[in-house]
Structure 1
Amino acid sequence: MSTDTDDTDSDASGDSSGGHCSTPDSDGEVAEDIAIVAFERKMDTAEEIVDGIGDRYDSIEILEYHGDVFAEHWGEYDCFVGLMASGIAMRKTAPLLDDKWDDPAIVVVDEELTWAIPITGGHHGANQVADDLASMGAVPAMTTASEAADEQGVEKQAKALDAHVVNGDSTVATNLAVLDGELGPVERLDGPKAVLVGDDVTVLKRNGDESDGGVVLGTGSVSGAKSKQFLAAWEEALDEVGKDWEDVEFVATGTRKEDEDGLLEAAAEKDLGVIALGKGDLEEYEGPTPSRSKELIGWPGIAEASAIAAGREHDLLLEKISHDDAVTVAVGR
């Protein structure tokens, strides 16, 4: 018996909003310039970190620790990785902190690479770096509320949308709404228009020029689908609608698929952000193609619903197609 591939994996457990993607710095981008601050006796470990994750950043440098090293280089890097006890990093950087949107992020990691602990700037690079250190065996100890609840804060949504937060003070209210499952998808508004917003509305602005004809790839899969299967499915869908990779704004999926390694690897290969939408958001934009997941687990089909919900015009360009009985994809705009 044949079933829709985004319906066959019945591992959902309730409704949530959120997603997965790299963490932005204060400009809505990932931390790009990193400094590892280490004592002389820990230089071998510092070099190991450079070899392990250095290719993920524009630059990664090693600074030998002395009492004023943070003060001397404050503002030169997006993130400091302190290869030291957390107390040392806290005492030396606390007097330098001024504004979370401008201050560099700080992560501490022990010599054995057991723990990676973001101290400041979790949503502005520290969580991202801790996640990268996890690839070397460190356990990322994140305490920011959205990460603790496994939700996608508005800063992460900004990164996936290739945007940045304009009014940073608003994120306290909107991230609380994320935690309560009340924020919903990012509303997209094209101008010219004048917009009046309150203090509890977070405004995101695209980093580059608005692309004409941009599309969203809505995607679902069976568990364990490979990155090459996602890429092949997305390529086929783009061919169907006469679009190229540069026309893709981002990838959208459901929260029950946000941790699929193959999906995340494929998106990273094409330098695409990933937005994951909760069950309630997808139900509001359910697609036209019947889906067995509605019958089996109460979720609408992920591919079409996420493509429609995340698209600028909430319009479906391509109904879902299946590849390898493993990945489904729909195209929205």
Structure 2
Amino acid sequence: MSTDTDDDTTDSGSCKAPDSDGEVAEEIAIVAFERKMDTAEEIVEGIGDRYESIEILEYRGDVFEEHWGEYDCFVGLMASGIAMRKTAHLLDDKWDDPAICVVDEELTWAIPITGGHHGANQVADDLASMGAVPAMTTASEAADKQGVEKQAKALDAHVVNGDSTVATNLAVLDDELGPIERLDGPKAVLVGDDVTVLERNKDQGVVLGTGSVSGAKKSQFLEAWGRALDEADREWDDVEFVATGTRKEDEEGLLEAAAEKDLGLVSLAKEDLERFEGPTPSRSKELIGWPGIAEASAIAAGSEHELVLEKISHDDAVTVAVGG
């Protein structure tokens, strides 16, 4: 979340997409003083390829007002006080306002000040790849939890009813939300204001259920996924996201591989996986009490809760199953 007073219980589609509450910044602008243009160019060089467009605007007193609504996120290469004073009167609605993230000239700190879950946290995370420390103040990030907006991003979906996320993200913080339920239509659904509805951004595809040994490398994940897709007669474009168990969600090689393929990563708790155990025996059940992560996560996260491909092992390091 951002430092907005009513945003303290929510997490991080385009910010201005017509039916999206906006979890992702796609078009950003760096606002910089003339003397800081070299740093602005450095930012473009460092993270520009992660966005549909990235532009540099020279700072002047009315620059934010002049370009308000043109970008998903402003990156203010300036003191946070300047950005706050120059944009405070423009802020109207957290679902529609552009996000704002400020960063200092030395790229030491990246501070989301508004729209944390609507692009500013994302930009701060990207600036971390250039050495900046993301100073997140949103509740879910502070608690190291994945709020519903971030889950939507991982699922390549967007939040339809933004006001509901206050209640559902409180449930995330209290470990009471549980897994996202998938519902296939045609159906009519009646929900309350404490139910967050996610809508898909593209047609249904397949899920790569993935387990691994500790320390598995990025290349091993990518090779395992490619082999599994070949055997399932699927392409990379058919993949919705990667699913794994919470005990594997911080594997560096897994995160790097998912990022390289621009795939979201969804992690499922042990009790959720136990409802969807796969047909192939797994030693993890005997050793640590977890069901086989690859098959269980593929089945649990797939739209039909079915296996397209039973698990395969690669290099004795990564296991992959394909779910649909």
Q: Structure 1 length as normaliser, TM-score?
A: 0.87
1:218 matches 2:213: no
SS of aligned partner of 1:329: strand
Q: Which moved more, 1:132-141 or 1:86-95?
A: 86-95
In the TM superposition, what is the alpha-carbon distance from 1:85 to its structure 2 partner?
1.1
> 1:148 matched to which residue of 2?
142
SS of aligned partner of 1:225: coil
Mapping of residues 1-150 of structure 1, within 5 Å: 23=12, 25-26=14-15, 27=20, 28=22, 30-150=24-144
Mapping of residues 138-287 of structure 1, within 5 Å: 138-208=132-202, 210-211=203-204, 214-287=205-278
Higher RCO (CA-CA < 8 Å; seq separation 6+): 1
1:320 matches 2:314: no
Distance 2:170 2:85 in 1: 29
In the TM superposition, what is the alpha-carbon distance from 1:103 to its structure 2 partner?
0.7
In the TM superposition, what is the alpha-carbon distance from 1:241 to its structure 2 partner?
2.4
Note the alpha carbon deviations across 1:53-103, whole angstroms, 9 max, x for none. Answer: 111111111111121111111101111111111111111111111111111
Q: Is the alpha carbon distance of 1:25 and 1:258 closer, same or farther for their aligned partners in structure 2, counting shifts above 3 Å?
A: farther
Q: Which runs of 5+ in 1 are unaligned?
A: 1-21
Note the alpha carbon deviations across 1:106-129, whole angstroms, 9 max, x for none. Answer: 101111111101111111111110
- The AA in structure 1 aligned to 2:174 is D
Q: Is the 8 A contact 2:241 2:264 kept in 1?
A: yes
Q: Which moved more, 1:194-203 or 1:148-157?
A: 148-157
- The AA in structure 2 aligned to 1:317 is V
Q: Structure 2 length as normaliser, TM-score?
A: 0.90
In the TM superposition, what is the alpha-carbon distance from 1:230 to its structure 2 partner?
1.1
- The AA in structure 2 aligned to 1:279 is K
Name the % identity. 86
Q: Is the 8 A contact 1:24 1:123 kept in 2?
A: no
Q: Which runs of 5+ in 2 are unaligned?
A: 1-10
In the TM superposition, what is the alpha-carbon distance from 1:244 to its structure 2 partner?
2.1
Distance 1:180 1:278 in 2: 14
Note the alpha carbon deviations across 1:220-270, whole angstroms, 9 max, x for none. Answer: 112232222112111222222222222222111122222323222322333
Q: Which moved more, 1:130-139 or 1:94-103?
A: 94-103
Q: How many residues align?
A: 309
Distance 1:86 1:131 in 2: 17
Distance 2:288 2:120 in 1: 36
Distance 2:306 2:217 in 1: 28
In the TM superposition, what is the alpha-carbon distance from 1:24 to its structure 2 partner?
5.9
Q: Is the 8 A contact 2:13 2:201 kept in 1?
A: no
Distance 2:53 2:236 in 1: 27
In the TM superposition, what is the alpha-carbon distance from 1:29 to its structure 2 partner?
5.2
Q: Is the 8 A contact 2:295 2:321 kept in 1?
A: yes
SS of aligned partner of 2:165: helix
Q: Is the 8 A contact 1:108 1:118 kept in 2?
A: yes
